[in-house]
Structure 1
Amino acid sequence: MNLNEAIDLLKEKGYKTTGKRKDILTYFEKADGYRTAKDLIQYMELSHEGISFDTVYRNLHLYDKVGILETTELNGEKQFRMNCTDHHHHHFICNDCGKTKPLEVCPMDDIENKLANYAIEGHKFEIYGLCPGCISA
């Protein structure tokens, strides 16, 4: 998802696109991998002095709810990244830097046959480790 798609989705869902909301979206559009609320606050404080944690968390929750951001838990902390909406895939996530690598395979292809009598409503599959850059650092 890119910035314009995210803004269109907000408008479609009846939400205003304020300057702060656009700045948050811009941050995640440029981010390479998952980022924490703390990372976002540090970025936002550069242009929005005194921005509150409440404002940041409220917008992160909104973006997650409407499908703009996807979340994961990494090192015991909730982290966010711009949602990849172009096709179904999963990620390898670096435990150090949060960068991701898309995985074009889905374990559900094998599992669905084993759960034929179940109503599957969703799934999430992630692999954690160190990316090549963090291994060599």
Structure 2
Amino acid sequence: MNARKALDILKENGYKQTKQREKLIEIFQGKDKDQYFPVKDILVEFQDDFPSASYNTVYRNLYTLVDLNILESTNLNGEQLFRLHCETDGHHHHFICTQCGKTKPIEVCPIQQVDDSLPGYMIQNHKFEVYGTCPECN
């Protein structure tokens, strides 16, 4: 996702285009698009332009961007990580390296098997992630 598209999504959903949101989008534009990053790393870069910004300010803005599908988030080892929304077409999931945070799309989805094993239940959403180490980290 490019910065212009991200800013358009903000506007289309009634959010203001603030300097802080622009900075967060800029930070992610400069990062590996196939890797998740912890809030503490984002905060360090963010505070270059906004030295008095709090962790909560960054966190709140990151979750706004997640809610709008500009960013994705995952939890790894008790820490929330973020990255630009994946541009892979169609429904898919991810393998996430527990060492470097890089991701690889997984084109298979187990939701049909789960649905079959829960007769009478209505699944509204799901998230399926596989964790391990990538070839570079093995």
TM category (shorter chain) comes to 0.7 to 0.9
Whether 1:113 and 2:133 are equivalent positions in the alignment is no
The residue aligned with 2:125 is 122
The residue aligned with 1:62 is 64
**TM-score normalised by length of structure 1:** 0.86
Whether 1:31 and 2:31 are equivalent positions in the alignment is yes
Which 10-residue stretch deviates more, 18-27 or 112-121?
112-121
Instruction: For residue 8 of structure 1, report the CA deviation from its aligned partner.
Output: 1.1
The residue aligned with 1:40 is 42
AA of the residue aligned to 1:62? T
Judging changes above 3 Å, is the alpha-carbon distance between structure 1 residues 57 and 134 closer, same or farther for their aligned structure 2 residues?
A: same
Q: Which runs of 5+ in 2 are unaligned?
A: none
Correspondences of 1:93-108 after superposition (within 5 Å) = 93-108=96-111
How many pairs were matched up?
135
**TM-score normalised by length of structure 2:** 0.86
Identity %: 48
Instruction: For residue 117 of structure 1, report the CA deviation from its aligned partner.
Output: 2.6
The RMSD of aligned alpha carbons is 1.8
Segments ≥4 residues shifted beyond 4 Å: none
Which 10-residue stretch deviates more, 114-123 or 70-79?
114-123
